[in-house]
Chain A
Amino acid sequence: MADIVNLADRAGAAPDGTVVEAHELARVYGEGDTAVQALRGVTLGVERAKLTAVMGPSGSGKSTLMHLLAALDEPTEGYVTIAGTRLGELNDTQVTKLRRQHIGFIFQFFNLLPMLTAEENIALPLTLAGTKPESSFFDDLLGKVGLQDRRKHRPSELSGGQQQRVAIARALVSRPSVVFADEPTGNLDSKTGAEILELLRGSVQDYGQTLVMVTHDARAAATADRILFLADGLIVKELRGADEHQVLAAVEEIALR
């Protein structure tokens, strides 16, 4: 793993410059009368070294889509490939190892371990894999998220924004093929939220990190290279390089549909 320097090369398994691909994904929750069709057949490719935002109203299936792309859930129909590996044929340990290697997560509620220091929390995915972070990269990462002087602090001694920075660094530390962020600013005030978005944007620019962000915040979505709009379990619209107004207009359009 240490010899992998360029992230873009690593994800090269997919021929068309995509890291994660979804093929006709469908997901049904429950059975019979109470069955809910969360996704109705979604096909997409997550582009390498781009920030992709997924938007949509509650119940549109955006979270379900993310869970399926991130190998946290299994589709009822269709399949997902991550870095060239087709899911669905893997057992739990193999999926865990795939997540460990290829996927980073940023959660709305940070989900840090209270008994670990900031740097221990950041290094956690590597620790679980039984390796250690490369020190130059690790220092660079800490500098990037602005936590050099908070290394030894525990989550309880950090502000919400700082905790989310720790979570971001944790997601980036293993240099995964793709990072999924689930409403990363949802639990932060707007100023801190803006800082976090800048940081995520920066990771795409500086490290060539592929990032998928689920959000219903138009301003957050506007930082993305590509925005996918979901409604009723289908992708209904796609924008590239849109600003906040265009995003809001699209949201309204979908709502009125």
Chain B
Amino acid sequence: MIRVALRGLAGRKFRTVLTAIAIVLGVAMMSGAYVLTDTIDRAFDAIFVESYADTDAVVTGKDAGISFEGETAPPGPIPEGVLEQVRGVSGVEVAAGTVTDFQTKLIKADGESIDTGGAPSFAFGVETAPEYDRFNPLNLVEGRWPSGGQEVAIDERVADEENLAPGDRIGVAALGPARQYEIVGIATYGDLSSLGSATFAIFDIPTAQALLDKRGELDAVQAAAEAGVAPEELVRRIRAEVGASATVRSGSAQATEESDEVATFTTIIRYFLLTFAGIALFVGAFVIFNTLSITVAQRTREFATLRTIGASRRQVLGSVIVEALVIGLLASVIGLFAGLGLAVGLNELFVALNLDLPQTDTVFATRTIIVSLLIGTLVTLVAGLSPALRATRVPPIAAVREGAKLPRSALARFAPSIAVVTVVIAVLALSYALLADGVATGTRFILLGVGVLALFVGVALLSSRLVVPLARIVGMPARRIGGAAGKLAEGNAMRDPGRTASTAAALMIGIALVTFVGVLAEGLRVSNSDAIEQQIQADLVVTSQDGYTEFPAAVGDEAAGLDGTEVVSNVRQDVAEVNGKGANLTGLDGSSINAVYDFRWTEGSDEVLAGMGDDGAVVPDDVADDKELAVGDSFTVLTADNERREFVVRGIYDGSPFYPLLGTASISQSAFDGLYERPRNRFTLINVPGAPGAAQKTSVERGLESFPDTRVLTRQEWIDKEDEEISQFLLLLYVLLALSVVVSLFGMVNTLALTVFERTRELGMLRAVGMTRRQVRRMVRHESVITALIGAALGLPLGIFLALLVTQALSEYDLQFAIPSGALITFVIVSVMAGIVAAILPARRAARLRVLEALQYE
């Protein structure tokens, strides 16, 4: 029996390959996601392991462990004296200090700073004397190490891209205005081929200290043990010497600590990509189910014949299962290796979106192989189960009957009820997951996933009932423009509603998901611009180049001194703990902020701002609710430098929860500067006299030229910029979802090809009674377009419904619901095009049929 199944597959190579592609793409995405993220992970690991390869003990500042929304406060620096202390510890062979910064921008020749797209822009202060070489993870590829206040070494990527060599000059901007340094060396980080879009600038220690305003301080001290002293022992001895004010770890512990932080980040990317792999596989399952159902139906007589010559039901079942197994395994193997290529493509996609990640040799883990093969094969098997069971129901008598039909499945009778129940359960699960209070996040996600899957399956089951009415509606253009062929196409589409439905359902999923993200993104855009318009009154907004990292306070000071400005108000920001929880703390200039930021007070008034003093604070209403704070209540702030202070709530305002521009709590600028040694601004908000025009903007831009990592925008420009960023992320989602649309496209090709094959004799008759080849092609094409439009007609409302549900769930954040009609029309056009493309080959094949042969075909 197995041989029969395998022979059958071999005899239908083209169809088998076409069917397998449905799974290949999903598996490729899965394997690609693993390969890419594993590779990134290893690159990061390499960075950290490299950093501490010959280090037995590391002394850093005390980590306050404060993080908020993914931003972690780095531990503060330690006094330089610690280095001498460590050197004095017995068992320490050699020790060196380092200074590190993550926000030191390199300036291109045109005066713009190099955009790292969110990746760090490092500055390293290192001891370059040969005896400290073992601590230095950097490798010189050209020139020499910098020494003295005028010299810098830069990374190879920047040198290549900007065409720089030793002897050239480059601008570097940290806390103050940009300064020119002479390049004396080019370096790489370990053996890494790429650090992603991260950049680095290397200085000697005093230069770095001066640049970063860390005079007399170091960020870390690395020590190597004398022979015979274990790292743990060294750590213990150093800890005893430096006391509790600093953290002492072994080199490997420090590497693990740092790479763990990054690992969370790659894990997010991994699951993000795997989600799309899952979607593609889910759509692939529909395609497999559909294709096997059709081929099983077409082979009714073959199964009956097998039964008459003594095959048992179990053997018939086995033969179809083996077929699915072979297809699944074949597809998984191809997909697994295709994933290696796809990983490169995914990385290119991220690079195109400015998300450059470090790379090293490709990692092809055993886990990737096992999981990809297993999941791909399993999905195919599960999808093939129902067609296989139907094949067993073919009675032997069908072998001798003309036009034998496959018997209906045992559950067919209950199908409508099952479909309705599935949809109801799906909607309940989704509503509960999204709208109920107090559900654990894990449960919520599981319910969401199950709900969405069930919704798709339920609607797909129901859709066979919707095909006829829908085909009449979406078939209208076909009837109008397709003439007789169009009319026949419509009839063909309605002929086997189940088949049309499940073909359309595969496309429906893709369309529903793009609609979902499209509608949500439109909501985000509207909410975002509303939130900005509500809050910001300033004529000009100064931010860092990327718009979200904080920039040196010196920028604000510079702006304050400029002519042609009326109000310059700095908004400081940093992470801190507020009442024991990670938060953003904001420092406001009480005398000017109300001119540039619109506080919509629920309690208090603008007067409060000027009188915040050293212990006053204002909080947005949602924070007040959440932390149960009323005017007059006090709360505790703890900074990363272990500064602890009490503040009293003086006012409560409506903080635009969708996009709060001020932090969890806002205090006065003087209090803020008292808490943070190197305060940074989130914004500098500027009003100019009279109506703001291009001239005023240019004059401010020119005034801030010495700070290249800043951006001056009008409010509208800022909104546009944010829109652009949302669009860019949306584009990424569209590209990733396109994969599942492509999978459904193959499903459509499959169904059409099989249908054409099935209707051979009928096509012969049509040709005999006067249908031209053109009309045949048109008929197949219109049927395909109608099927695709049914998919769109199901997918669009479904996507809108899901978006509406999510919008409801996020109502507390003021997320608005908005329909992007342009995008939705585009999706309909894309569906039509998918239909046309899917029909190309089947239509050609149908038109090529020889009339006589087709007529005699059985």
Residues of A within 8 A of B (CB): 67, 70, 72-73, 92-93, 96-97, 99-101, 104-105, 107, 109, 111, 113-116, 124-125, 127-130, 170, 174
Report the Cα distance A113→B763, complex, angstroms.
10
State whether B769 touches A125 (Cβ < 8 A).
yes
Let me know if B770 is at the binding interface, CB within 8 A.
yes
Q: Which residues of chain A have C-beta atoms less than 8 A from B771's C-beta?
A: 96, 128
Instruction: Given A72-B851, A113-B491, A116-B491, verify A128-B775 contact (CB < 8 Å).
Output: yes
Q: Supply 4 further A-B pairs (C-beta < 8 A) apart from A97-B772, A124-B766, A129-B770.
A: A104-B769, A111-B761, A113-B488, A170-B769
Nearest CB of B to A210, in Å: 17
Residue of B nearest to A130 (CB): B483
Complex CA distance for A127 and B484, rounded to whole angstroms: 6
Other-chain residue from B483, B488, B773 in contact with A92 (beta carbon distance below 8 A): B773
- Could you jot down 19 A-B contacts, CB within 8 Å? A72-B851, A72-B855, A93-B774, A96-B773, A97-B770, A99-B769, A100-B769, A101-B770, A104-B769, A105-B768, A105-B769, A111-B855, A115-B491, A124-B484, A125-B769, A125-B770, A127-B487, A128-B485, A128-B772
Taking CB atoms, residues of chain A closer than 8 Å to B761 are: 109, 111
Task: Answer whether A96 and B770 are a contact pair too, CB < 8 Å, given A111-B761, A128-B775, A130-B483.
Answer: yes
Contact A113 B762 (CB under 8 A): yes
**Which of B488, B766, B772 neighbours the largest number of chain A CB atoms within 10 Å of its CB?**
B772
Is A124's CB under 8 angstroms from B773's CB? no
Chain B residues within 8 Å of A104, by CB = 769
Say yes or no: B852 contacts A107, CB within 8 Å: no
Check if B770 sits within 8 Å of A67, measured CB to CB. Answer: no
Q: Are B772 and A115 in contact (CB under 8 A)?
A: no
Binary contact readout B737-777 vs A (1 if CB under 8 angstroms, 0 otherwise):
00000000000000000000000011011111111111100
Contact B773 A107 (CB under 8 A): no
For the complex formed, measure the closest distance between the CB of A184 and the CB atoms of chain B, giving whole angstroms: 14
Would you call B495 an interface residue if the criterion is a C-beta within 8 Å of the partner chain's C-beta atoms?
A: yes
- Report the minimum CB–CB distance from B482 to chain A (whole Å): 11
Q: Is B494 an interface residue when CB atoms closer than 8 A count as contact?
A: yes
Residues of chain A within 8 A (CB-CB) of B852 are 67, 72-73
Q: Are A100 and B491 interface neighbours, CB within 8 A?
A: no
Closest residue of chain A to B485 (Cβ to Cβ) is A128
Name, among A67, A97, A113, the residue most crowded by chain B CB atoms within 10 Å (CB to CB).
A113
Asked whether any CB of chain A lies closer than 8 Å to the CB of B666, the reply is: no
Q: Which residue of A lies closest to B773 (CB)?
A: A92
Q: Could you say which residues of chain B place their CB within 8 Å of the CB of A105? A: 765, 768-769
Residue of B494, B762, B774 touching A111 (CB-CB under 8 A): B762
Most buried by B among A70, A107, A116: A107
What is the CB-to-nearest-CB distance from B601 to chain A, in angstroms, rounded to a whole number? 69
Chain A residues with CB under 8 Å of B767's CB are 96
Please measure, in the bound complex, the distance between the C-alpha atom of A104 and the C-alpha atom of B770, giving whole angstroms.
Answer: 9
Give Cα A82 to B485, complex, Å: 26
| A174–B768 alpha-carbon span in the complex (Å) | 13
CB closest residue in chain A, given B771: A128
Given A99-B768, A124-B769, the answer on whether A115 and B483 have CB atoms closer than 8 Å is no
Task: Give Cα distance in the complex from A105 to B852, angstroms.
Answer: 12
How many Å lie between the Cα of A174 and that of B770 in the bound state? Answer: 11
**Binary CB contact string for chain B from 474 to 510 against chain A (1 if under 8 A, 0 otherwise):** 0000000001110110011011000000000000000
Q: A67-B852, A113-B488, A127-B487 are in contact. Are A93 and B762 (CB under 8 A)?
A: no
Chain B interface residue count, Cβ-Cβ cutoff 8 angstroms:
26
Give chain B's interface residues, CB within 8 Å of chain A: 483-485, 487-488, 491-492, 494-495, 761-762, 764-775, 851-852, 855
Cα-based distance from A216 to B494 in the complex (angstroms): 39
Q: Which of B484, B485, B492, B855 contacts A107 (CB 8 A)?
A: B855
Residues of chain A lying within 8 A (CB to CB) of residue B485: 128
Cβ-closest chain A residue relative to B492:
A115
Residue ID in chain B nearest A68 by CB atoms: B852
Q: What is the count of residue pairs linking A and B with beta-carbon distances less than 8 angstroms? A: 68
Q: How far is the CA of A107 from the CA of B491 in the complex (A)?
A: 22
Q: Are A115 and B495 in touch, CB under 8 angstroms?
A: yes
Cα(A93)–Cα(B495), bound, Å: 28
Complex CA–CA separation, A230 to B766 (angstroms) = 29
- Interface pair B494/A115, CB less than 8 Å apart: yes
Q: Give the chain A neighbours of B488 by CB distance below 8 A.
A: 113, 116
In the bound assembly, the distance between CA atoms of A121 and B110 in angstroms comes to: 75
Q: Which residue of A lies closest to B768 (CB)?
A: A105
* B769 adjacent to A128 (CB under 8 Å): yes
Q: B430 to chain A: closest CB distance in Å? A: 37
A178 to chain B, nearest CB (A): 13
Partner of B772, one of A96, A107, A114, A127: A96
Query: Bound complex: CA of A105 vs CA of B765, how far in Å?
Result: 9
Residue of B nearest to A167 (CB): B765
Residues of B within 8 A of A114 (CB): 495
Which A residues touch B775, using CB under 8 A?
128
Alpha-carbon gap, A130 to B770, bound state (A): 11
Query: Roughly how many angstroms separate A70 CA and B766 CA in the complex, as a whole number?
Result: 14
Is B766 a contact partner of A128 (Cβ separation < 8 A)?
yes
Chain B nearest CB, measured from A58 CB (Å): 14
Residues from chain B with a CB closer than 8 A to the CB of A115 are 491-492, 494-495
A96 to B775, CA, bound (A): 11
Contacts of A130 in B (CB 8 A): 483-484
Of chain B, the residue at the smallest CB distance from A94 is: B772
Q: Cβ of A99: which chain B residues have Cβ within 8 Å of it? A: 768-770
Report how far A96 CA is from B767 CA in the complex, Å: 7
| Chain A residues in 8 Å Cβ range of B495 | 114-115
Q: How far, in whole Å, are A100 and B769 apart by their CA atoms in the complex?
A: 6
Chain B residues in 8 Å Cβ range of A113: 488, 491, 762, 766
Alpha-carbon distance A99/B852, docked complex (angstroms): 13
Chain B nearest CB, measured from A238 CB (Å): 26
Contacts of A174 in B (CB 8 A): 770
CA A116 – CA B779 in complex, angstroms? 15
Closest to A171 in B: B769
Determine whether the beta carbon of A72 is less than 8 Å from that of B770: no
CA distance A73 to B770 in the complex (A): 15
Bound together, the chains give a CA A114 to CA B762 distance in angstroms of 10
**Pair A93/B773 contact, Cβ less than 8 Å:** yes
The chain B residue with its CB closest to the CB of A73 is B852
Q: Does the CB pair A128–B770 fall under 8 Å?
A: yes
Chain A residues within an 8 Å CB radius of B772? 92-93, 96-97, 128
- In Å, the complex CA distance between A127 and B485 comes to 9
- A116–B772 Cα gap in the complex (Å)? 19
Whole-angstrom distance between the alpha carbons of A202 and B74 in the complex? Answer: 100
For the complex formed, measure the closest distance between the CB of A117 and the CB atoms of chain B, giving whole angstroms: 10
Query: What residues of A have a CB within 8 angstroms of the CB of B487 in the complex?
Result: 127
> A23 CA to B767 CA in the complex, in Å?
25
CA distance A38 to B774 in the complex (A): 32
Cα distance A252–B484 when bound, in Å? 48
Residues in B with CB closer than 8 Å to A107 are 765, 855
The answer for the CA separation of A100 and B484 in the assembled complex, in Å, is 14
- In the complex, the answer to whether A128 meets B484 with C-beta atoms within 8 Å is yes
List B contacts of A111 (CB < 8 A): 761-762, 764-765, 855
Q: How far, in angstroms, from A113 to B488 measured CA to CA in the complex? A: 9
Complex Cα spacing A128 to B778, Å:
12
Closest B residue to A111 using CB positions: B765
Q: How far is the CB of A1 from chain B (nearest CB, A)?
A: 13
With both beta carbons as reference points, the residue of chain A lying nearest to B847 in the complex is identified as A92
A67: chain B residues at CB < 8 Å are 852
**Cα-based distance from A97 to B765 in the complex (angstroms):** 14
* B774 CB to nearest chain A CB (Å): 7
Quote the shortest CB–CB distance from A3 to chain B (angstroms). Answer: 20
A127 to B494, CA, bound (A): 19
CB distance from B844 to the nearest CB of A (A): 14
Q: How far is the CA of A101 from the CA of B769 in the complex (A)?
A: 9
Give every chain A residue within 8 A of B764 (Cβ-Cβ).
111
The 8 closest A-B pairs by CB, nearest first: A100-B770, A115-B491, A111-B765, A127-B484, A96-B772, A125-B769, A72-B852, A128-B484
Q: Which of B492, B765, B775 has the most CB of A within 10 A?
A: B765
Report the Cα distance A97→B768, complex, angstroms.
10
**Cα of A222 to Cα of B767 in the assembled complex, Å:** 31
